[in-house]
Amino acid sequence: MAASGTLHPEVLWAQRPDRLLITINLTDINGEKVDLQPTRIVFNGVSGGKNYAADIELYAEVTKEGSTVAKTARGIHMVVKKKEQDQPYWPRLQKEKVKTPFIKTDFDQWKDEDESSDEEDQQNAGAPGGFPGLGGMDFSQFQGAGGDFNFDDMDDGGSDDDEGDDGKDAETAKAN
């Protein structure tokens, strides 16, 4: 629980069979402290002049070995290794089955147990926006491949086939 005057940050999470993907969604964090313990994650930091804290007791054990923490301008991103990697997906992030409003599923990162393999994750690693099948493509090599197309040449007033030479639509032109 956060101390008086301390807020909870938004925490987003997703998982793979062997790891958790956790994001503490705060911009421009200062004085951050992330403590990864076998059964909990503790975070403290300052953003926008306000103190934030989260103490999350995890559903099952994790390990520091192989886990990573990265700070960006948009938050703290963690890849946390599960201790038991041959177990089914966790049904929730927290040990207790309680609704915690600041902890949310990260649907941008989520994959179901039967949906993907690590091989596919690596293939899509360089893909713009994470689009499947585009991993590692350099779109600059396609520059100009479709010819010169200028959006300024397009007419705002509908289709060109329906207009006569005087700007009236085809039906009005036939009636005259």
Handedness of CA 157, 158, 160, 161 (dihedral sign): negative
Task: Please classify residue 29 by burial: count the beta carbons closer than 10 Å to its beta carbon, then call 0-12 exposed, 13-18 middle and 19+ buried.
Answer: buried
Ranges of each domain in the chain: 10-128
Domain 10-128 has CATH 2.60.40.790: yes
Closest by Cα among 85, 87, 37, 41 to 63: 37
**What does the pLDDT look like over 53-86, one tens digit per residue?**
999 999 999 999 999 999 999 999 999 999 998 8
What digits encode the pLDDT tens for the residues 78-130?
Answer: 999 999 988 889 999 999 999 999 999 999 988 877 775 554 455 444 434 44
Local structure of residue 50 (DSSP, 8 states)? E
Q: Do the bridges between strand 10-15 and strand 103-105 make them parallel or antiparallel, or are there none, so unpaired?
A: parallel
